[in-house]
Amino acid sequence: MNEEGHRVAVVTGGASGIGLAMARQFVSEGMKVVIGDVESGALDIAVRQFQDAGVIGVRADVTRHDDVVALCEEAVRAFGRVDVVCANAGVETGGRFLDVATEAWRWVMEVNYFGVLTTARVAVPLLERFGGGDLVITGSLAGFASGTPFMTPYCASKMAVLGLAECLEIELRSCGSAVHVHLLAPGPVRSRMIDAERNAPAGVPIDEDAERRAFMEDFRARQSAEGLPAEDVALLVSRAIRDREFFVLPHHDRAVAALRRRLDWVENGVVPGSRVAGS
């Protein structure tokens, strides 16, 4: 706790969706919060929602190491310490494997994987400096359930995040660290994720092909029909921090089913649909 008795959280990608809901949850628990986001307009609107809670917004692009450092330093400058860091910023793009431009692949990996990696590398020593704390990494059910067609960059990035989070947590435990990792891996959640390409840097070509558009629109419809409220997800994150649980699985049954399916694939040596008839 800082001198005023507050715990302090930093949330990347905190201007919208799950990140914003986590910020709101932390504020409701009396924590001080610093939100980082690449989208300045959304960041200003988000911070205005918390007028009396002293939430600070910092324009920070997680693909830039210096931005992540400056974001965390702002929390220390303003509130004296950091207890929780949420490596949450993420983007998605979809399309047929060969139609997704290399630049779009790189963008998704830069934000979803290297952005998490950078945030974790800044967060672990920072949290240790203040006696330990919690690193919440936002992965996805897509990290468990591969085999989602037209989503290869996103699925690959979230599988990489799963590997990073698991290995890091095991390493921290084996070293006796007071930093704990939590992997949030939701299925559909209502947010602006389907419009993630709004944040694609100039030079990332977005395929406007009709088939791809139809896929994205179908994805949007499913997400708004099936999606959980981001607030429900944020509450589970808060409980996982309290209870020191590694996995935060808002769609627990789907995650377990996905892992069973994977085990089946491993045991049978095939991905369903990949075997040529008669072979």
Contacts with ligand NAD, residue ranges (CB under 6 A): 12-13, 15-19, 37-39, 42, 61-63, 88-91, 111, 115, 138, 140, 186, 188-189, 191-193, 196, 199, 223, 227
User: What whole-number distance in Å separates Cα of residue 126 and Cα of residue 131?
Assistant: 9
Query: Least distance from C-beta 189 to ligand NAD, angstroms?
Result: 4
Which of 59/96 has CB closer to ligand NAD?
59
Query: Least distance from C-beta 68 to ligand NAD, angstroms?
Result: 9
Q: What are phi and psi of 104, to 5 degrees?
A: -70, -40
The DSSP code sequence of 136-180 is EEE--GGGT----TT-HHHHHHHHHHHHHHHHHHHHHHHTT-SEE
Residue 154 annotated as catalytic: yes
Which of 162/193 has CB closer to ligand NAD?
193
Which of 66/264 has CB closer to ligand NAD?
66
User: What whole-number distance in Å separates Cα of residue 199 and Cα of residue 221?
Assistant: 21
Q: Of the listed 79, 107, 144, 154, which one is catalytic?
A: 154
Query: Least distance from C-beta 184 to ligand NAD, angstroms?
Result: 7
In the numeric block, which tokens belong to residue 92?
Answer: 């998605």
Query: Least distance from C-beta 220 to ligand NAD, angstroms?
Result: 10
Which of 16/83 has CB closer to ligand NAD?
16
In the numeric block, which tokens belong to residue 89?
Answer: 């910023």
User: What whole-number distance in Å separates Cα of residue 165 and Cα of residue 104?
Assistant: 24
Residues annotated catalytic, as ranges:
154
